[in-house]
Structures are given as structure tokens and as C-alpha cells.
Amino acid sequence: MENITYIAYLISAVCFILGLKKLSSAKTARQGNILSGIGMLIAIAVTLLDKQIIDFTFIIAGIVVGSAIGAIAAKKVKMTDMPQMVAVFNGFGGGASTLVALAEFYRFTTTPEVNVSITLVLSLLIGTVTFTGSFIAFAKLQGLMKSAPVVFKMQQFVNILLFLAIVVLGVLFVIQPSSGLELILVIAISAVLGLLLVIPIGGADMPVVIALLNSYSGLAAAMTGFVLNNYILIISGALVGASGIILSNLMCIAMNRSLINVLFGKVGFDASAGGGEKGERKQVTRYTPDDAVMMLENAGSVIIVPGYGLAVAQAQHVLQEMASLLEKNGTEVHYAIHPVAGRMPGHMNVLLAEANVPYDKLMEMDAINEDFQNTDVALVIGANDVINPAARTKKDSVLYGMPILNVDQARTVIIVKRSLNPGFAGEDNELFYGDKTMMVFGDAKKIVTDIANLLKG
């Protein structure tokens, strides 16, 4: 029987790997997710046959409650709220790892070996940090607490102290693993640590944090796998851990920041950054939706650059309507998606897919950046830092070196924006004042609706 279990786990692991592999193309992605789901079902089914399980009361109750909550949340969540949702799920994953590892400790009948004790402590540490950290990320993204960084004096010092305390408790437990007191303290301190690690991170950096917590939830599962000596947990945990690391790294590159800087740099709360030029108020010409329509009607090619302002205004659907009208008019329309557009990796693609934009119109930055120079109109909606030429030219700017969309190379640039306020980086955008730029001020949804109506008429 044991061998059958282990073979079934191996099949599950293969399903997960193939499932993730199928995510490399939009055509096969859905199939891939279903394959991963089948892998999970196999693992669960074969575990239920395990001879250690003699009572199904708690199992059935737990599965019923968990499935109901998970299914309702998955059905109800708005696509704009996806980052919070993933944060919460990460949190539950990390929490589950902690609980399983702790439960295993209470089931020990003999003194655990050193390697088991070490991974047990690691599992509690990572799992609990993921749990509380994810809920803080959720609260920030959901607006339950301010998204601005919360900082206090000696914060880093306190974090280091807490971490050292966990190390000391961990060592004590490994030497003398009889009482659970050390473990409870490790969990309590890790909970505080998770909270303190996420509160100083600003709203704009949340994509990185969520990706990182995703990675942690995988590592926590892997550590629990070490404790249980169960390879399926180790393999799955490692896969998720790798995924989270890749995504956090990509986000950091796209924001021109190092991971250390994101986690401890406290960027985003100092509104005075780059404020040296505030003295000179440059002139900007205001254009109306009518002016924009004139340009768009005569354009052979348009690239739309959506930013998070678009999603905030819930303008995705009307934007798609407007784009269809332009296409009917014979204009070629594409969307240029910057890696950090939205509130989590790939978020903007999901928001536009929901609005029925075909995915072959959604171009990633490297694939479309060369095309701007041959494009009649670049239509920017609610984006700022990701099109700021200061990233190329202004050496003293925080943006300098960040990869941007070459919007300024298009023949005409139309920017729909609520105001001239700088973006998260606090850097003024010279593109707003350019000769070929048309600034149209107002709410994204209202402006795009006006443009769509004018195109119809």
C-alpha cells in the first residue's frame, strides 16, 4: 500500500509540473490548470486511503467548510481585487503549513531527530510569517489600513532582535525537543515578525510583496514536507517557491529596484521626492475628447497604454468598445502592457481579458517597444511612471534606468489623466509638456466614454 501511495504522489508531482508547463501558452493554460487540479485530487484521494486515518469526522467537516469558503470567494471576487485574493490564499497556505507542522510535533511519540527539529522550526517560522504578512498585505490592498508605509524608529533593529530570538528558541528546541513551549513562542514571535516585515512596504511595491509571499508559502510547504518526510510536499513547495522568486525578481527589474530596496527602502511615502522643480510651473495645453477623436479617426495605427488609473475608474469595458469602433474604422489597435501595470504581476492582462480584449492584442513591453516609432497615436490612460522619459535621460531621478514604454516615439501622444500629479515615484513627467502631446484631463471612464460616443456619431 505504501508503495502505491508513493507512486500516486509521483503522478501528482508530474501533473503539477506539466500543468505549469502548459501555462507557457494562453492556448493550453486552462488545460494546464485542470491538470494540476487532477494532480491535487489524486494526492488527496490516495492520502485518504492511508491506514493512519481512522476517523473521517474532522476531515469531512474541514473539507466541506474550506471548499465552501474557497468556492464562494473564487466565484465572487472582482478581477480588480485579485491581488488581495491571492494574498489571502497565500496566507491560508502558510497557516496550514504551520498548523500541520505543529500538529506533527504533538503526534511525536519518540524524540525527533535533529533534522526533523530544524525543519519543524523553519516550517513554523516561514509558515507563520507568510500567514500574518499576507493578511497585512490583504488589509493594505483592500484599503482596511493605509497603504502608505508604516515606519518607526529602530524598526530594522527590532526585526533583527525578533529574528535572533527565533534562532535562539529554535536552537534550544533542537537541543532539547521535549516541551512545546519554545515552538509556541517561535510561532508568536514569527507572527509579529510577519506583520513588521510588511507594514513598512508601500502600496506601489505590493506586487513584489505578494510574489514574495507566494514564494514563502511554497517554501513553508516544502519545510513541512521535510518534517513529514513527504516528497510531494517538498516537490510542490519547491515549484511554488521558485515561481514566487522568479516573479518578485521580474517585478524588481521592471521597477528598477533591488529586492532589498523594496523590502527595506521605504520608497513611496516621501511625497517631496523630486520636488526640486516645483517652483517653475510649466505650461500645459488642455485638449478635449473632440480633439482626441479627430486624431484617432485619422490614425492608421493606435497603441493603447493602460495603467492602473484605468482599472480604478473601471473603464476597461468602455475602452474595449472604443477600440472596436476604431478597428471598424480601419485602424490597427494594440495594447502595450508594462510589467508593473496593475497591482500584481500580469494583473492588467486579466483586467483587459475580462473586458473581452483578445489576448493576441495584448503586447508585452519588449514585443511592442520597437513599434511605437511607426505608430500614429499612442493613447495613454491612467499610466505615468512607466512612460516617463526621465527613466532614460535624467540620471539623478529615482526612475533612472527603469525600463519604460517608448510612448514618446509615437507621432502623437494622447494622455488621459486626472491631473498633472506625478506618479508613485514622485518624478515630474516631461512628456506631458511635449509638442506632440495632447493632455486630456478627467476621469478615465468619462473621457473614454465620450470618445466612444463621438466615434459612434
Among 4, 7, 48, 175, binds other proteins (CB under 8 A): 48
The grid coordinates listed for 323 are: 477600440
Find out whether 431 and 391 touch, Cβ atoms under 8 Å. no
Of the residues 55, 366, 376, 385, which is catalytic?
A: 385
Given 112, 203, 265, 346, the residue binding other proteins (CB under 8 A): 346
Helix H, strand E, coil C: the string for the chain is: CHHHHHHHHHHHHHHHHHHHHHCCCCCCHHHHHHHHHHHHHHHHHHHHCCCCCCCCHHHHHHHHHHHHHHHHHHHHCCHHHHHHHHHHHHHHHHHHHHHHHHHHHHHCCCCCCHHHHHHHHHHHHHHHHHHHHHHHHHHHHHCCCCCCCCCCCCHHHHHHHHHHHHHHHHHHHHHCCCCCHHHHHHHHHHHHHHHHHHCCCCHHHHHHHHHHHHHHHHHHHHHHHHHHCCHHHHHHHHHHHHHHHHHHHHHHHHHCCCHHHHHHCCCCCCCCCCHHHCCCCCCCCECCHHHHHHHHHCCCEEEEEECHHHHHCCCHHHHHHHHHHHHHCCCEEEEEECCCCCCCCCHHHHHHHHCCCCHHHEEEHHHHHHHHHHCCEEEEECCCHHHCCHHHHCCCCCCCCCCCCCHHHCCEEEEEECCCCCCCCCCCCHHHHCCCEEEEECCHHHHHHHHHHHHHC
Tell me whether residue 126 or residue 293 sits nearer to other proteins (CB atom): 126
What is the nearest approach in angstroms of other proteins to the Cβ of residue 164?
25
Q: Per rule CB under 8 A, is residue 225 in the interface with other proteins?
A: yes
Which residue, 231 or 269, has its beta carbon nearer to other proteins? 231
Q: State the nearest-atom distance from the C-beta of 436 to other proteins, in Å.
A: 29
Binding-site member from 97, 301, 320, 388 for other proteins (CB under 8 A): 97
Quote the least distance from Cβ 57 to other proteins, whole Å: 8
Output 190 or 230, the one with its CB closest to other proteins: 230
Q: Report if residue 152 touches other proteins, rule: CB under 8 A.
A: no
- Rounded to a whole number of angstroms, the distance between the first and last alpha carbons of the chain is 72
Q: Which of 6, 11, 77, 162 binds other proteins (CB under 8 A)?
A: 77
Number of residues this chain uses to bind other proteins (CB under 8 A): 112
The DSSP bridge partners found for residue 440 are 416
Of 23, 148, 253, 420, the residue at the interface with other proteins (CB under 8 A) is 23
Of residues 20, 162, 165, 284, which one binds other proteins by CB under 8 A? 20
359: contact with other proteins by CB under 8 A? yes
Closer CB to other proteins, residue 165 or residue 242?
Answer: 242
Q: Counting contacts by CB under 8 A, is residue 11 touching other proteins?
A: no
Taking the complex as a whole, the smallest distance from the CB of residue 396 to other proteins amounts, in Å, to: 30
User: Per CB under 8 A, does 40 bind other proteins?
Assistant: yes
The answer for 158, left when phi > 0, alpha when psi is -120 to 50, beta otherwise, is alpha
Q: Which residue has the cell 486515518?
A: 53
* Binding status of residue 110 toward other proteins by CB under 8 A: no
Q: Which of 280, 360, 396, 435 binds other proteins (CB under 8 A)?
A: 360
192 binds other proteins (CB under 8 A): no
Is the Cβ of residue 194 or residue 244 nearer to other proteins in the bound state?
Answer: 244
Smallest distance from other proteins to CB 272, Å: 33
Q: How far is the CB of 286 from other proteins (least distance, A)?
A: 34
What residues between 252 and 281 interact with other proteins by CB under 8 A? none
Closer of 51 and 153 to other proteins (Cβ)? 51
Q: What's the CA gap between 217 and 413, in Å, rounded? A: 43
Among 74, 145, 151, 167, binds other proteins (CB under 8 A): 74
Among 165, 172, 259, 350, the residue binding other proteins under the rule CB under 8 A is 350
Q: Is 2 in the site for other proteins (CB under 8 A)?
A: no
Interaxial angle between packed helices 444-456 and 316-328, expressed in degrees from 0 to 180 and rounded to the nearest 10: 30
- Considering only 4, 53, 164, 271, the residue that binds other proteins (CB under 8 A) is 53
Length of the chain: 457
Our answer to whether residue 376 is catalytic in this structure is no
Pairing of strands 412-417, 332-337: unpaired
Q: Binders of other proteins among 237-256, rule CB under 8 A?
A: 237-244, 246-247, 250
230 binds other proteins (CB under 8 A): yes
337 touches other proteins (CB under 8 A): yes
Residue in 84, 86, 122, 304 binding other proteins, rule: CB under 8 A:
86
Task: Please identify, using beta-carbon distances, which residue of 75 and 278 lies nearer to other proteins.
Answer: 75
Q: Which residues are catalytic, by number?
A: 385
